[in-house]
Amino acid sequence: MSLLERVESAQRTAASRLHPLVAPVAVAVATVAATAYVAQVDPHEGGHYPTCPSLWLTGWYCPGCGSLRAIHDMAHLDLAGAWGMNPLAVLVVPWLLWRWAAWTAAALGRPVRRRPAPAWSLYALAGAVVLYAVLRNIPALEPYLAP
């Protein structure tokens, strides 16, 4: 048995010893900590966070631009302000919470019906994100979609 095979075997053995809830709980703790930090350190004020690399390099808003400000506003229960910063982030957060809940339920051993997404839906999602990125950079739509 090679060294690489022994390391992989040891990793699989160590991973199998962990409780199934370790990963979902770790993700929840990291998410709560990051959200608490963003809630305390206001991204609306300059100098606290780096500039979006896409915006810095191209001058165009990416689909994620304004997400930190949206998360800050959602943490303060200002959904209108969050929608104004990044509507996509406001729509994605509930979906992420739902997926995390399903992951946690599966880790607890509850039956979860899982079906792979059809290919067309993945293409539609990718197309919607690209369309959103294009629309938020059109000057006439700037008051509605730009962060």
In the structure, what pLDDT confidence band is assigned to residue 11 with cuts at 50, 70 and 90? low
Does a structural domain hold residue 15?
no
At residue 20, the pLDDT reads 85
Instruction: Determine, yes or no, domain membership for 30.
Output: yes
Q: Does pLDDT of 18 surpass 90?
A: no
Instruction: Specify if 4 maps to a domain.
Output: no
Q: How many domains does the chain have?
A: 1
Q: Buried (b) or exposed (e) across 103-140, using 16+ Cβ within 10 A?
A: bbeebeeeeeeeeeeeeeeeeeeeeeeeebbeebbeee
Whether 126 is covered by a domain: the verdict is: yes
**Residue 2 forms part of a structural domain:** no
Domain membership flag for residue 11: no
In a domain, 5, yes or no: no
Q: Write out pLDDT tens, residues 54-96.
A: 999 999 999 999 999 999 999 999 999 999 999 999 999 999 9
Backbone angles phi, psi at 109, to 5 degrees: 90, 5
Distances in Å between the alpha carbon of 9 and those of 14, 18, 22? 9, 15, 20
Q: Helix-strand-coil percent breakdown of the chain, rounded to 5?
A: 70, 0, 30
Which range of residues forms the domain containing residue 49?
20-145
Decide: 67 and 89 in contact? Cβ < 8 Å: yes
The pLDDT-based confidence of 116 (bands split at 50, 70, 90) is confident
Q: Does any domain span residue 50?
A: yes
26 vs 14, which has greater pLDDT? 26
